[in-house]
Amino acid sequence: MSVLRIVFDENLVGVQETLEGIAECHAMPGRDIHQANLIDADALLVRSVTRVGAEMVAGTALRFVGTATAGYEHIDQQALAANAIAFSAAPGCNAVAVADYVLAAVVAVADFWERLAAGGSLGIVGYGHVGRRVQGMFAALGVRVLVHDPWLPEGEVPASASLDEVLSADVITLHTSLHDRSPWPSCGLLSQECLSRISADSLLINASRGEVIDQNALLAACENGTAPTLVLDVWYGEPSVSAQLLNHCALGSAHIAGYSQDAKWRGTQHILGAMARSCDLNLSGRLQHLPTLPVSLGSGASLADALRTLVSQVYDIREDDRLLREVVAQPDAAKGFDALRKQYRVRRELGAVLLQDDAGNAAVTALGGMLTQLQYGDGP
């Protein structure tokens, strides 16, 4: 049997290590992968920046395409099916990393955590893999959570709420997939009219896709002082970032909410497993998890202090904000945005944390309960 030939985005973590000696692997910058690079390839493994459409796969030997990401709007699944090419995304692989991002934002910006702890509410738009993790995390911390996801039967959504109710929450966080399907498209969901219903006292977090918010309407709200406090990880028209909008953000980052090492590793392992099944490759003993992360919180702290200590030991969101502002101030900001993502530091996630402290401490017990919501078990 001939050796499997694989072309993959160089930003994928763990492909070479996992396939050492059993496949021929060729790494490329994701934005530079074209049809000509795939003529003899059996499998293509990408992240979100490679658009895979009909022209890309026509006339190639491809049998499998995988994207090690949750979102897969960059893949034309019909074109793959028409060419008998199997497909896998990595649903949920980075959901805990995004939940970490949301928690880090809430504890970092002004007194939003204190407001939630004092009976305020967190509104979630989109109850998929990420929305569920965010809901589980904040509910375990005792926060009142409202969820809006009209695509799901109401019984499946805890504290199901209308979009209006969710937009009235103290903290609103967006986790919808990007699409334009009726009757509830998400592209442009936060229109001028929806934005006008959000209080300027609220916090709005977007770690879904930039296109979920009408950026011009948001900019106008920022300019006239009616916009909520903003934490944005995703931008309209990436890799470009509106410097004007970033100036209005409490925190901005370069689409890295899901960039924990655990998530990248898990995403790769997920699509390698799917590829192995499609291409009849034996990966037994090669797919592995990352080790746990021991963390000590000390004793006697309040829940707020313990939470801030925990988050600070795992993920520094302010560093991501600093890095983005630095690249956006440079002449070729779009290139800098991509470079930032490519060279992203190794960051672990809360789901990997193993608390070293005595669970007799009430804060440690509460945080331990939250952390169990974030564990993955065997699959993503």
Ligand X SMILES: O=C(O)C(=O)[C@H](O)COP(=O)(O)O
Q: Which residues bind ligand NAI (CB under 6 A)?
A: 70-71, 91-92, 94-95, 98, 125-131, 148-152, 175-178, 184, 186, 189, 207-209, 233-234, 255, 257-258
Paired strand residues for 125: 148, 174
Rounded distance, CA 89 to CA 265, Å?
14
Bin 92: left if φ > 0, else alpha if -120 < ψ < 50, else beta: left
The separation between CA 164 and the C-alpha centre of its own chain, rounded to angstroms, equals 24
Window contacting ligand X (CB under 6 A); options: 16-24, 67-75, 274-282, 318-326: 67-75
Minimal CB distance residue for ligand X: 47
Annotated active-site residue in 209, 270, 341, 347? 209
DSSP string, 254-291: SS-TT--HHHHHHHHHHHHHHHHHHHT---TTT--PPP
The reply to whether 176 sits in an annotated binding site is yes
Window contacting ligand X (CB under 6 A); options: 15-23, 63-71, 104-112, 216-224: 63-71
Annotated active-site residue in 129, 133, 148, 238? 238
353 is written with which tokens?
A: 């944390």
Per the CB < 8 A criterion, the answer to whether 265 and 238 are in contact is no
Paired strand residues for 357: none
Q: Name the residue with tokens 């979630």.
A: 124
Q: Does 69 bind ligand X (CB under 6 A)?
A: yes
- Known catalytic residue at 148: no
Of 29, 18, 54, nearest to 7 by C-alpha is: 29
Q: Does 374 bind ligand X (CB under 6 A)?
A: no
Per the CB < 8 A criterion, the answer to whether 130 and 102 are in contact is no
66 binds, among ligand NAI, ligand X, none (CB under 5 to 8 A by kind): none
Provide the mask over 19-58, with x wherever binding to ligand X is found by CB under 6 A and - wherever it is not.
Answer: ----------------------------xxx---------
Q: Does 173 bind ligand X (CB under 6 A)?
A: no
Q: Which is nearer to ligand NAI, 41 or 203 (CB)?
A: 203
- Known catalytic residue at 349: no
Per the CB < 8 A criterion, the answer to whether 174 and 231 are in contact is no
Rounded distance, CA 123 to CA 128, Å?
14
Tell me how far, at minimum, the Cβ of 267 lies from ligand NAI, in Å. 9
Q: Which is nearer to ligand X, 48 or 60 (CB)?
A: 48
Paired strand residues for 205: 173, 231
210 binds, among ligand NAI, ligand X, none (CB under 5 to 8 A by kind): none
| Residues known to be catalytic | 209, 238, 255
Binding site residues, ligand X, CB under 6 A:
11, 47-49, 69-71, 94, 258
Mark the binding-site residues for NAD(+), compressed into ranges. Answer: 149, 176, 207-209, 233, 258
